[in-house]
Amino acid sequence: MRPGLPLLLLAAGLAPPALAQSAALRVGAGQVRADQVFPVADTVTRSGLALTVDGAFGLGPVSLAVRYLEGSLAGDGAAGDTDFAEGEAILWVAPVRWAALGAGRHLRSYVEPGGTERWTMWEVRARGSAQLTEALTAYGVFWMVVGSGLPVSGSLESGRGLEGGLRVALGRMPFSAELRYRVDRLAVPDAGRRETIEQLGIAIGVGRR
């Protein structure tokens, strides 16, 4: 067990696609919870705090969103601690203001004393948003893994995830705050691996859409 309470950097952040010339940068923090099923062990649950930073730059209906998360997850019971990091870069196209389609790469790493386990996923995503008031915007994102590079033998049976949240514009200033929930699941039955990553966090940012 690693000393201290694991600190995790959670990224709840999915940088929203910009529909006009835009730029945004956000930092956030939150709770990450990983449910992992290994072939020779029961389900292992690790959790901890994480910090995230994400940004987006858009030109017209096209935008590029990047996100990075890092933290430490503390295992319960016999499970050991692990450092956890995620990064993604998604290219979005928004044919209408309230919906966008995207595709990009999603990387995930577990850093343990025995080595680093890396997951690489190619994903397609769909995003919808609804402006509730002038200051409140709700959004939801769903994605599927369409290609992967796995650290275990076997093929990916399923990979999908979703994120939803609420963005609050802070007055007329270019600042905003977000509340985010995200869940992501990968399953490799050949290797007996399944894992579900949950992230709950908040973020504040600056940017103009």
Partner 1 sequence: MIRTVGAALVAALTVAPTLQGQVPDSLIASGVRAYRNLDFDVAAGFLTRALSLIAARPDTARRAEALTYLGATEVYRQRPDTARALFRALVRLSPAYRIDRLIFPPEVTGVFDAARRATPAVAARLDPEQRFRTGAGGLSAALFGSTFHDVRVELQRADASLVRTLYAGPIADSLPVAWDGRSVDGATVPSGRYQLAIASLDAAGTAVRILRFPLEITTTRQDTIPLPAQPDERQLLPERKAAAGGVESLLGGLLVGIGVSLLPAAVGSDATLSGGRFAVGGVVAVAGVIGFFRTRGHRNVPENVAANASIRAAWRDARDAAAAENDRRRGTADIVVRVGPPQAIDREGS
Contacts with partner 1 by CB under 8 A lie at 20, 31, 33, 35, 37, 43, 45, 97, 128-134, 136, 138-140, 142, 160-162, 164-166, 179-181, 183-185, 194, 196, 198, 200
> Given the complex with partner 1, which of 27 and 162 has the nearer CB atom?
162
Chain centre to alpha carbon of residue 70? 11
Q: How many helices (H) and strands (E) does the chain have?
A: 0, 10
Please identify, using beta-carbon distances, which residue of 113 and 197 lies nearer to partner 1.
197
Q: Are 128 and 140 in contact (CB under 8 A)?
A: yes
Q: How far is the CB of 101 from partner 1 (least distance, A)?
A: 18
What is the smallest separation between the CB atom of 28 and partner 1, expressed in angstroms?
A: 13
The least distance separating partner 1 from the CB of residue 2, rounded to whole angstroms, comes to 22
Amino acid (one-letter) located at 195: E
Nearest to 65 by CA among 28, 85, 99, 91: 91
Closest CB to partner 1 among 70 and 184? 184
Judged by beta carbon, residue 78 or residue 96, the one nearer partner 1 is 96
CB of 145 to partner 1, least distance (A): 12
Burial of 145 (0-12, 13-18, 19+ CB in 10 A): buried
Nearer to partner 1, 6 or 161 (CB): 161
- Which has the closest alpha carbon to 30: 15, 48, 18? 48
Interatomic CA distance for residues 12 and 180, integer angstroms: 6
Task: For residues 160 and 82, give the distance between their C-alpha atoms in angstroms, rounded to a whole number.
Answer: 23
CB of 80 or CB of 164, closer to partner 1: 164
Question: Minimum distance from CB of 209 to partner 1 (Å)?
Answer: 9
Per-residue DSSP letters for 116-148?
EEEEEEEEEEEEEEEE-SSSEEEEEEEEEEEEE
Q: Supply the minimum distance, in Å, between the C-beta of residue 130 and partner 1.
A: 2
